[in-house]
């Protein structure tokens, strides 16, 4: 029996619709297509995350730098000569005792009443300023910061609460496709309170001890009287440069007058100042101890023994203008005390 072959089954062309369905439903080349679409997206997201990490890193660095600058300025604020990094300084160098009153922006307390510009410096800054005030202190600390940072440093004095404020910024470069989502400036702000523990303890200790010292010693009305302005100008200080000026000062001091006393029939005694209680006051500016023992002392000793013309004798010794103290021997002092003569030293 002869064989029969159906030739038309293999030679018949495939319909066009069938070829399209085969391509759509087939899996050949699917990995290549997916990779060409997904890989660019993954790459872009990875780069974007890298720049985002860099942005946060620089932001953190900015905050750390601003905080460090503020802390350093607050720490060395009590002495403009302190090293802003280590705090070291020479003990003999300081800003004076009253810098907090005249060189610490005390006018900031009245900025609500009158216009007042705060102490401020612009960064970056280089070198140090000879000014010992707030601007010089800020510039002294700002010179330590890197020149890559821009910004300002300022000082605010609110009385008990004083602080240093630091604002920093730096450009941040990012890809063009990420500029809409990432800022182009890294900005930071930090402040630090200025504390002065040594002055605070000193003030508390002074207040505590001072109140105890004056408590009960003066009445409020007496304190008010002490604050009244004097009605007269005080007289200038008396200058003693001779025996005559010493005698005049002595008469004013004891409210006495010069008087000549007859000691005996042949001896007279000139008293520089005789007061109302019949006490004879004698002034000595230039003297010789030998002459005092042989001439002056016997006269006054005789007057004291009689007791009729004087009730007491006081010798006043004034120092020479070119000397720092009265030169009187201890022997003469003892002898005068034994004779009953009082000694007063004016230096």
pLDDT the model gives residue 131: 75
pLDDT the model gives residue 5: 44
**pLDDT, tens only, 93-136:** 888 878 888 888 877 777 777 777 788 899 988 766 677 788 88
- Contacts of residue 8, defined as CB under 8 A and 6 or more positions apart, other chains included, come to none
Interior angle at CA 102, CA 101 and CA 106, nearest 5: 65
Alpha-carbon distances of 130 from 83, 117, 138, 140, rounded to whole Å: 14, 20, 12, 9
Interior angle at CA 97, CA 91 and CA 101, nearest 5: 140
**Structural domain boundaries of the chain?**
40-87+98-200, 243-346
CATH 3.40.1350 fits domain 243-346: yes
Cα–Cα dist 89/80, whole Å? 9
Q: Which residues of the chain have pLDDT under 50?
A: 1, 3-10, 14
Residue 124 structure tokens: 């970056």
Residue 56 structure tokens: 């946060």
pLDDT the model gives residue 68: 92
108 and 134 Cβ atoms separated by less than 8 Å: no
- Report the Cα 39 to chain-centroid distance in Å: 64
* Packed helices 30-75 and 134-142: angle between N→C axes, nearest 10 degrees: 140
């Amino acid at each position: 029996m002869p064989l029969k072959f159906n030739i038309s089954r293999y030679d018949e062309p495939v319909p066009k619709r069938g070829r399209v369905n085969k391509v759509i439903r087939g899996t050949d080349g699917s990995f290549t297509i997916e990779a060409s679409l997904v890989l660019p997206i993954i790459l872009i997201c990875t780069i974007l995350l890298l720049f985002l990490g860099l942005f946060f890193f620089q932001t953190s660095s900015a905050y750390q730098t601003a905080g460090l600058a503020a802390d350093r300025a607050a720490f060395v604020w009590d002495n403009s000569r302190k090293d802003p990094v280590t705090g070291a300084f020479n003990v003999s160098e300081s800003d004076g005792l009253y810098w907090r009153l005249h060189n610490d922006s005390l006018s900031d307390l009245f900025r609500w009443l009158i216009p007042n510009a705060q102490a401020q410096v612009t960064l970056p800054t280089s070198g140090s300023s000879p000014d010992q005030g707030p601007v010089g202190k800020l510039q002294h600390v700002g010179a330590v910061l890197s020149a890559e940072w821009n910004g300002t440093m300022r000082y605010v004095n609110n009385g008990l609460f004083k602080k240093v404020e630091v604002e920093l910024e730096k450009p941040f470069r990012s890809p063009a496709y990420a500029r809409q989502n990432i800022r182009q400036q890294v900005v930071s702000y930090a402040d630090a309170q200025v504390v002065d523990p040594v002055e605070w303890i000193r003030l508390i200790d002074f207040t505590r001890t001072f109140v105890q010292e004056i408590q009960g010693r003066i009445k409020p009305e007496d304190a008010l009287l002490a604050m009244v302005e004097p009605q007269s100008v005080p007289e200038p200080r008396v200058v003693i440069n001779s025996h005559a000026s010493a005698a005049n000062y002595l008469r004013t001091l004891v409210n006495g007058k010069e008087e000549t006393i007859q000691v005996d029939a042949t001896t007279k005694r000139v008293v520089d100042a005789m007061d109302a209680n019949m006490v004879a006051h004698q002034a000595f500016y230039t003297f010789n101890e030998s002459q005092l023992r042989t001439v002056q002392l016997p006269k006054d000793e005789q007057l004291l023994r009689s007791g009729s013309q004087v009730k007491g004798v006081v010798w006043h010794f004034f120092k020479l203008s070119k000397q720092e103290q009265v030169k009187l021997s201890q022997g003469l002092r003892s002898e005068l005390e034994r004779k009953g003569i009082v000694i007063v030293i004016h230096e």
